[in-house]
Each structure stands twice: as structure tokens, then as C-alpha cells.
Structure 1
């Protein structure tokens, strides 16, 4: 009998998105792709932050970064949406509320 597989050293101490968090983010991502706004994404899992980056085209700077920083949970909020220039567009502890700043981009005037 083989012992259970273990993660390489250091993997378990990284911040990651939970399945429910990813579901919310990917739902928004799918709607933005359907609207022709976004085309690609990348996920980075680091020691202090998990980042979901969205791109208009592959291999360019991200349009937006959705960050999760658990250490800021009791201060400013663990979730943040950050724009291309580094400005914080929205921050808070409720991911659904934080993502609303990006959902407004889907609303357009139809002539």
C-alpha cells in the first residue's frame, strides 16, 4: 500500500481561491467574454495573495486584477479589484459586492 500523495513543500502555505470564489469570478469572466470585452485570464497563487488577472488580448498587461489578501480581512477587506494603472477600484470582504464594479462595464447604452 502506497502512502497518500503529499504536496511539494511550500504549496500548502499559499493563498488560493475557494471553489465558490472562483465560481463567482468565472461567471463574470464568461459574461465579459461573451460581450467581447475580455479574452484571456491568468491565476497566480502566492504566499500572501491570490490574483485572478483578466486580459483583453493574450500576452499583454492585465486590464484588471482581482486579488484576495486574507491578511487584510479585518482592515480594508480581503478582496480588491485593481485597474491597469494600479488604482484600487473596489475593496471589501464580500466578493460579490466587490465584483459589481466590473459588472457595471457590461451595461451599455443601445442606440
Structure 2
């Protein structure tokens, strides 16, 4: 009778230290940001890269609370979608799997009636 040593399990993949936006995601967000700055709606932004969420915050003035937060939460990828737009009051305006469709809720703010 031969004794076999058990096959070790592969080590678990380490969790990322922080969640970030990739180049294409940041490009889409900054394209919208540029349009809103040109329209005079937004003036400043802030980025936060945390362990579970990446946040792009939009400000009307530097010293205020953010008007909107664009969040990426990879843990919600299989459930509700990892992208969300959160309003100043904390309500989620739109959540989904595709960043472009989630950002459309903010693009609608650019459409105004012409006098």
C-alpha cells in the first residue's frame, strides 16, 4: 500500500487593494464631465479608490457636497450591476451592468428647451 500525499489547493487569489476605473470607463465619465463643464453645470470632481468601491464625485463648487457620485462596485456585478449613479440626497438614480446606459441619466440633464 502506497501513501499519496494530498494535492494542495491552489492559494486563493488575493483581493485587490483597491477598486479602480479602467481607461475606457474613465474616458466615458470624463467625456460626460467635459460636456457638463462646457454647459456650465459642473465645476469640479473628485476620485476615491477604496477597497470595495471606486467613486467619481461631481461638484458644482469645490466646497460643497457632491451633486452626483458615479460608483463602481464589482461585488454587485452578478446581482444589480456594478455601476450606479447616486444623487446628492443618497438615492440611486440608476444602476446597471453597462456604464454608458447608466450615465444616460446624467446626459438627460443637458437637454433643455430653447427659448
TM, length-normalised to structure 2: 0.86
Is 1:41 aligned with 2:41? Answer: no
Is 1:76 aligned with 2:89? Answer: no
Deviates more, 1:101-110 or 1:12-21: 12-21
Mapping 1:8-19, distance limit 5 Å: 12-19=16-23
Q: Give ranges in structure 1 of 5+ residues lacking alignment.
A: 1-11
**Larger Rg over CA atoms:** 2
State the Cα deviation string for residues 71-95 of structure 1 (Å, max 9, x = none): 0000010000000000000000100
Is 1:87 aligned with 2:88? Answer: no
State the Cα deviation string for residues 3-49 of structure 1 (Å, max 9, x = none): xxxxxxxxx52000000000000000000000000000000000000
In 1, the alpha carbon distance for the partners of 2:67 and 2:114 equals: 24
In 2, the alpha carbon distance for the partners of 1:13 and 1:92 equals: 24
In 2, the alpha carbon distance for the partners of 1:59 and 1:49 equals: 23
Partner in structure 1 of residue 55 of structure 2: 51
Q: Give ranges in structure 2 of 5+ residues lacking alignment.
A: 1-15
Which residue, 33, 36, 46 being the options, matches 1:29? 33
TM, length-normalised to structure 1: 0.89
Is 1:99 aligned with 2:103? Answer: yes
Length, aligned pairs only:
100
